[in-house]
Amino acid sequence: MACGLLAATGLSAGLPRWRLDGNPSPPSTAQINAAQGQVRQHQAELGAQQRRLNAARAELARLQVQAEQLTERYDEVRVDEQRAAAAYQVTQARLARARRAAAASRRRLAALAAQEYELSAGFDPLTAMLGDAGGPQAYMNAAGFGQVLAQDQADTLAENQADDVVARVFSAQAHDLLVAEQADLRAAADLRAAIQAAVARQLAFVRAGAAQRNRLASELASAEAHAAALQAARQAALAAEAAQAAAAAGGGTAGAGQAPAWAWGSGASATQGDIAANWALTQLGKPYQWGAAGPDSYDCSGLTMEAWAHAGVQLLHYTGYQWEEGPHVPLDELRRGDLVFFATDTSDPATIHHVGIYIGNGMMVDAPYTGAFVRIDSIYAPGGLIGAVRPAG
């Protein structure tokens, strides 16, 4: 990051650029130590909040598992209740059929009794026998058939009445089972509603915790940026003093070869930066694809290349080259459209692996990784922020 540091000293313009907050003196060691102390305090607060958030998420996961189990139990009881209701309807239909059959049997017996009475015309059996046109034998035959028929009807009635008793028993049992299943269903529904309410409360708690975590992370990022800016400003001041001393001693030419490739202020205009940033915002939601540069998908450097192409600046499709394609910009002087770079080792630009387009308020548009989409992120969220470049116009 030496290129960015030299650019920050503003040697080409002859004016130091390490003045912060209107203070004409470079930051002192005490100020830097205090800033670093603030960073440690924010780190501790963020760590504590992250642990609380992790615990809350674990509890949410436990409740969600319990909610799933209770929902499955509710589904089971609901099916059982539906089966009990269907069985109860079947027993009710059977009971109705048994009662209709018994009633029909009683009506047939009554009709038979009336017929017997009419045939005998109210006479006693002996008189009816003597008066029968067919003689005593005919009477005996008719009387025997009537008795057989009456006995058969009586047996059918008894059978139908037995069916009625059995049907009533089955119907009562089915009714009791239905009532029990309905009670179980209500209890299962109450449990499901209770756990769902608990999940909703815990989810709200987790979201609030995540918002608090994000706020603390933003505060930490600001503190880290402030401490880094103070450190860079002090180093820039010392470098400027050393260069001035070397020049006064006649060694000014010795450092000339260390001047950055891009003079301060040679980057693209603010209007071009706005064009690049605004175009990048129109690509939100498009998928990340390694090696892609639009129009339907992008990788990180493909997105920045296309955004700046719309602003009239040609960049190469590689983060390492884009790091060298404009003056390095101090983080406290970022402008919309500037490129922000991320590395696994912030002291070594060779480890740069990601780039985004700054859109203001500490946010950027970027194409993060496989499986993600072009989106808005905090410039501090990925970690490893190594510096920024303003592409040359």
Predicted pLDDT at 252: 44
Q: What is the CATH number of the domain that holds 131?
A: 1.10.287
Does residue 36 lie within any of the structural domains? yes
Residues 105 and 218 in one domain: yes
Predicted pLDDT at 94: 84
Q: What is the CATH number of the domain that holds 345?
A: 3.90.1720.10
Q: Is the dihedral of CA 310, 313, 318, 323 positive or negative?
A: negative
Q: How far apart are CA 389 and CA 340, in angstroms?
A: 7
Per-residue pLDDT of the chain (393 residues; tens, 9 = 90+): 333 333 333 333 333 333 444 445 678 888 889 988 998 998 899 899 999 999 999 999 999 998 888 888 889 988 998 998 998 899 889 889 878 887 887 887 778 777 766 665 555 555 555 555 565 666 556 556 556 666 777 788 788 778 778 878 878 988 898 899 899 889 989 998 998 999 999 999 999 999 998 888 878 767 776 776 676 667 666 766 776 776 677 644 433 333 345 555 578 899 999 999 999 999 999 999 988 998 999 999 999 999 999 999 999 999 999 999 999 999 999 999 999 999 999 999 999 999 999 999 899 999 998 889 999 999 988 889 999 999 986
| Structural domain boundaries enclosing 338 | 266-393
Q: With 0-12 CB in 10 A as exposed, 13-18 as middle and 19+ as buried, what is 324?
A: middle
Does residue 30 lie within any of the structural domains? yes
Residues 294 and 255 in one domain: no
Residues 342 and 371 in one domain: yes
Does residue 3 lie within any of the structural domains? no
Does residue 16 lie within any of the structural domains? yes
Q: How far apart are CA 313 and CA 306, in angstroms?
A: 9
In this structure, the number of other CB atoms found within 10 A of the CB of residue 247 comes to: 15
Q: Which amino acid is at 365?
A: V
| 216, 242, 259 - which closes a domain | 259
Residues 300 and 180 in one domain: no
Residues 217 and 355 in one domain: no
In the block, tokens 């808005």 appear at 376
Q: Which H or E run contains 216?
A: helix 135-248
Does residue 4 lie within any of the structural domains? no
Residues 109 and 196 in one domain: yes
Q: How far apart are CA 199 and CA 56, in angstroms?
A: 11
Does residue 1 lie within any of the structural domains? no
Cis preceding-peptide flag for 295 (omega within 30 of 0)? yes
Predicted pLDDT at 21: 44
- Structure pTM? 0.45
How many domains, the chain?
A: 2
Residues 185 and 309 in one domain: no
Q: Are 357 and 304 in contact (CB under 8 A)?
A: yes
Does residue 5 lie within any of the structural domains? no
Residues 272 and 251 in one domain: no
The first and second tokens of residue 231, run together, are 């450190």
Residues 80 and 172 in one domain: yes
| 207, 236, 259 - which closes a domain | 259
Residues 252 and 338 in one domain: no
Give Cα separations from 322 to 127, 214, 354 (angstroms).
132, 30, 11
Residues 294 and 169 in one domain: no
| 259, 283, 300 - which closes a domain | 259
Does residue 35 lie within any of the structural domains? yes
Q: In sequence order, what are the residues at sequence separation of 6 or more whose Cβ sits closer than 8 angstroms to the Cβ of residue 114?
A: none
Residues 17 and 95 in one domain: yes
Residue 228, SS3 per DSSP: helix
Which contacts (CB < 8 Å, 24+ apart) does range 83-86 have?
A: 83/181, 84/174, 84/177, 84/178, 84/180, 84/181, 84/182, 85/178, 85/181
